[in-house]
Structure 1
Amino acid sequence: MDRLQKAIQKAREERQSRESPPPVMEQPPRHAPSEDACDARWQSVPEIQIDPKLAVRNRLASLAGGGDATPYDMLRTKMLQQILSNKWRRVALTSPYSGCGKSTTTANLAFSLGRQEDLRTIVIDFDMRRRGLAEILKQTGNHSMADVIQGSVPFHEHALRYGKNVIFGLNYTPTRNPAEILQSRRAIEFLEQLEADYKPDVILFDTPPLMMSDDSHGFLRNVDCALLLAAAEETSIDHIDVSEQQLAELTSVMGIVLNKCRYISGTFGNEYGSY
């Protein structure tokens, strides 16, 4: 009887060894790029040249800094305080509908952040139905961020660098199906790879208006927070309320920015005499 039990146990062990999966070889950990490699990657991006006269024509008040940039510098500082305290990185700018100045605000925030030399900022235009930031910055090309996401063109060939610490990803051509692209797995993978390769401190996204289409509704779940832009004397309180509710269902609402305000000269800091 004892011999029979041993034979049964031996047969059971042999059967289990045949059914068990082969051992999985551990993959060596993928190391993040070194700081030197990251710096080299930033500097390899083609540099953008912006005509100073463009600042006046396209309301790029923070391009050169100074007193005219103060409202955007204040917004930058308040935004950074929330980013640091909440450990956020991805910030979307959106609005109830077009014409609220979100693209102009995005560009000005980028230049304001660029004057903080210890910060790396990437600006991505995901409002893919129009040229948006490319038109404001007067840049031309043949591709869009949709082409980058879909792998038609590498990001480092498509992007443009301003100074040493700001990179723009623009749209030079409109995209026919931006909602599907922004909600795709490829968009998520692109963002993950972007952060791994460039290690930005802040990523600003110029995203589509909330009430014009569903383009941004799927994507906004992939950001840490969002700023809602409203136009003074144009955007109704009802539209702001509805947009804020929609935004709160998708991500954290950092705040509401009232744009296109009419204020008297001297409101920002003139008592110091240096502005």
Structure 2
Amino acid sequence: MDPIKQAVELARAAEGVHRPATLGGSPLAAEGPSQRSAESPFQEVRLRPDHLEAHRIVAHGTSSPNGRYYDMLRTQVLQEMDKKSWQFLAVTSPTAGCGKTVTSCNLALSISRLPQRSVLLVDLDLRRPTVGKYLGLGDNGGVLSVLEGRAPLSSAVVQANIGPNGILVLPGSVSANSSEWMASQTMGALLQTIKRDFRSRIVIFDLPPMLLGDDVISILPRIDATLLVAGIGSTSVADVKECQKHLRRSPVVRVVVNKATESVGSYYGYY
């Protein structure tokens, strides 16, 4: 199927976002059965705190002392994004193993705890998607089913709740054509649909590591700002300098140095 036809089919499929009667999808693995409420057109799942914390997702409440670091990051990122009226935030890293997905999930959950703030977390790491695994979601086809026209966006998005708060999540899917999808007109159509239908939400995109291919540099022109996650023991100075070359035309709201202060019990430092 050529990219233009894919884009047309994606746009048609996205019309179902506000039509709950047409929604479908497979059950999700979480605490209790998935369901749709009268208030939400999306599949709803309840996240398990023990599963989250086992994967270092700690910003879903105020009880964890490590969550405060993500709250500080949240405040700084939102201040910068609000100042520029930005909606789309990319989270990436130079190489694998830096903690970008942990940062994406924690940042999204931290933002969700703010009054009058809401978040959509999109796993666009089509090489190795792990957002669903870290949050404890099942496989519902994810973003690839939308890109391929097999499902409307509304049936792929999940309402993930914990306590009184929740985030919307578009889980990821593995694709052998990750690079091609990132640069495609179909991806551009998906991003336009997200911008239109989720315009009141901050949208966080968990992207692949920047230096593993051209995925990130292909999609960055369509994103408002970037959060770069480096890892102590995983990232070299040369890696960061190489990323800086690609990020010269993309606003960087923060650089997170992950695992920098593990010896004193916190998950990351940042500057």
TM-score, length basis structure 1: 0.77
Q: Say if 1:152 and 1:266 are closer, same or farther in 2 by CA, change over 3 A.
A: closer
* Equivalent position of 2:171 in the other structure: 170
* Equivalent position of 2:153 in the other structure: 155
Deviation at 1:247, TM superposition (A): 1.9
Count of aligned pairs? 231
* Equivalent position of 1:232 in the other structure: 232
* Equivalent position of 2:254 in the other structure: 255
The residue identity in structure 1 corresponding to 2:167 is V
Q: Can you list the C-alpha shifts for 1:43-96, whole angstroms capped at 9, x where unaligned? A: 111112211111321001112233221000000000000001111110000000
* Equivalent position of 1:208 in the other structure: 208
* Equivalent position of 1:57 in the other structure: 54
Q: Say if 1:234 and 1:98 are closer, same or farther in 2 by CA, change over 3 A.
A: closer
User: Does the 8 A contact of 2:122 with 2:171 survive in 1?
Assistant: yes
Aligned identity (percent) is 25
Distance in 2, Cα, partners of 1:265 & 1:142: 36
The residue identity in structure 1 corresponding to 2:227 is L
TM-score, length basis structure 2: 0.78
Q: Say if 1:167 and 1:142 are closer, same or farther in 2 by CA, change over 3 A.
A: closer
* Equivalent position of 1:82 in the other structure: 80
5+ residue gaps, structure 2? 1-14, 20-36
User: Does the 8 A contact of 2:119 with 2:201 survive in 1?
Assistant: yes
The residue identity in structure 1 corresponding to 2:152 is P
* Equivalent position of 1:246 in the other structure: 246
The alignment partner of 1:128 has SS state of coil
User: Does the 8 A contact of 2:66 with 2:266 survive in 1?
Assistant: no
Moved over 6 A (4+): none
Range moving further from structure 2, 222-231 or 154-163: 154-163
Q: Can you list the C-alpha shifts for 1:90-145, whole angstroms capped at 9, x where unaligned? A: 00000001100000110001110110130121110000112311111122224131
Mapping 1:215-226, distance limit 5 Å: 215-226=215-226
* Equivalent position of 2:104 in the other structure: 106
User: Does the 8 A contact of 1:41 with 1:198 survive in 2?
Assistant: no
The alignment partner of 2:111 has SS state of helix
The alignment partner of 2:176 has SS state of coil
* Equivalent position of 2:118 in the other structure: 120
Deviation at 1:236, TM superposition (A): 1.1
The residue identity in structure 2 corresponding to 1:74 is M
Aligned-residue CA RMSD (Å): 2.6
User: Does the 8 A contact of 2:260 with 2:267 survive in 1?
Assistant: no
Q: Say if 1:133 and 1:234 are closer, same or farther in 2 by CA, change over 3 A.
A: same
